[in-house]
Amino acid sequence: AVDMSTALGAVPIPSPVLTASGCSAFGRELEPFVDLTAIGAVVTKSVQLRPRSGRPTPRMAETPSGMLNSIGLQGPGIDGLLDGELPWLAERGARAFVSIAGVRVEDFAELATRLRGVPGVAGLEVNISCPNVESRGEVFACDPVAASDVVAAVRAAADPAQPIYAKLSPDVTDIVSVARAVVDAGADGLSMINTLLGLVIDPDTMKPLLGGITGGLSGPAIRPVALRCVWQVHAALPEVPILGMGGIRSGLDALQFVLAGASAVSVGTAVFNDPSALGRIHAELAAALETRGFASLREAVGYAHR
Ligand code: DOR
């Protein structure tokens, strides 16, 4: 059998297949369909300092090639996470990769401080790239300086044993310069990519369908964009671990991300049609690697560049 073990920074995980932030909340909905201890980690919905109700509904739309969301960072806030969701995951032996989001640099640092030493927290995904917030003021990922300010503050505040991955936006002209900046600021890895801003107009009302007007596009439509980002960043920074995501719904999709340079992948939109997608994709990826003569996942990471 192919050795499927990998790591998030220095933290070993048994599978390269993780949930994607936002698409499985905090893991409860997936529990009937997925062995939460067998997947790489549950990447949580981004948490903020305070609870937030998000954008007006409707805030999700299906398109033929992907999904649009304008959730607007709805969530229980850090207290709710620490009191409810994280203990629930830890009791089950699941690893949580906690996505954090904020308006100010200090918000991110405070969240990292609150998460220090919390049982079951394998690391932090720093969401600097949500496209759905008022005036897009929280989109740090479009500016290498703003992005690295957040990452440096989180690295300084976070538990040294918890790796931090910066979540990047595809909506930049040069993703490699943002990647370099956040790695220089102390990111242990990169999550690529967040959604790409889009629009759907309802032909009946002749108005934007989503309450938030625009929304982030995910799913198969953005897969080649995500893969291109992973490829470019791995070519420039081959030592930096990449958590790849964007429209992965099969083992062969995941294989493309691994060959481009991802050492792990997140599966998001696909779980809405197939809640058992994570286990299936792990098995399909293992079979695809075996067929191609790889003894381990690690051997295949970045293979397409060599
Ligand atoms: O597409 C997204 N939607 N990306 C984010 O980072 C946050 C989320 C939301 O809550 O709107």
Write out pLDDT tens, residues 118-151: 999 999 999 999 888 765 556 788 899 999 999 9
d(CA 125, CA 18): 12
Predicted confidence at residue 141, as pLDDT, reads 86
| Nearest Cα residue to 52 out of 16, 101, 3 | 101
Ligand 1 close to Cβ of residue 269 (< 6 A)? no
Predicted confidence at residue 139, as pLDDT, reads 72
Predicted confidence at residue 134, as pLDDT, reads 63
Instruction: Decide which of 3.40.50.1980, 3.30.1280.10, 3.20.20.70, 3.30.460.20 is the CATH code for 6-304.
Output: 3.20.20.70
Question: How many angstroms does the Cα of residue 48 sit away from the middle of ligand 1?
Answer: 12
| Nearest Cα residue to 281 out of 246, 242, 247, 254 | 254
Write out pLDDT tens, residues 271-284: 999 999 999 999 99
Cα Rg, the chain, nearest whole Å? 18
Q: Please give the sequence-ordered ranges of beta strands (E in DSSP) within 40-81, or none if there are none.
A: 42-43, 60-63, 66-69
According to the 3-state scheme, what is the secondary structure of 157-178?
HCCCCCCEEEEECCCCCCHHHH
**Containing H/E element for 19?**
strand 17-19
Ligand 1 close to Cβ of residue 194 (< 6 A)? yes
Amino acid making up residue 105: V
**Containing H/E element for 99?**
strand 96-100
d(CA 258, CA 231): 10
User: SS3 for 198?
Assistant: strand
Tokens linked to 73: 């960072």
Amino acid making up residue 202: D
Question: How many angstroms does the Cα of residue 64 sit away from the middle of ligand 1?
Answer: 20
User: SS3 for 123?
Assistant: strand
* The one catalytic residue among 23, 130, 142, 229: 130
Give the domain ranges of the chain. 6-304
Ligand 1 close to Cβ of residue 69 (< 6 A)? yes
Pocket test for ligand 1, best of 48, 59, 132 (most atoms within 8 A of CB): 132
Q: Are the beta carbons of 29 and 21 closer than 8 angstroms?
A: no
User: Taking the CB of residue 202, how many other CB atoms lie within 10 A of it?
Assistant: 12
Predicted confidence at residue 137, as pLDDT, reads 53
Regions of the chain with pLDDT less than 50: none
Q: Are the beta carbons of 243 and 191 closer than 8 angstroms?
A: yes
Ligand 1 close to Cβ of residue 72 (< 6 A)? yes
Q: How many CA atoms lie within 13 A of 229 on its CB side?
A: 30
Annotated active-site residue 142? The verdict is no
Q: Are the beta carbons of 132 and 26 closer than 8 angstroms?
A: no
Pocket test for ligand 1, best of 63, 69, 245, 266 (most atoms within 8 A of CB): 69
Predicted confidence at residue 204, as pLDDT, reads 97
Q: Are the beta carbons of 134 and 212 closer than 8 angstroms?
A: no
- In ligand 1, the atom with minimum distance to the C-alpha of 127 is 6
Give the list of residues 6+ apart from residue 139 with CB closer than 8 angstroms, or none: 128, 129, 130, 131, 133, 169, 171
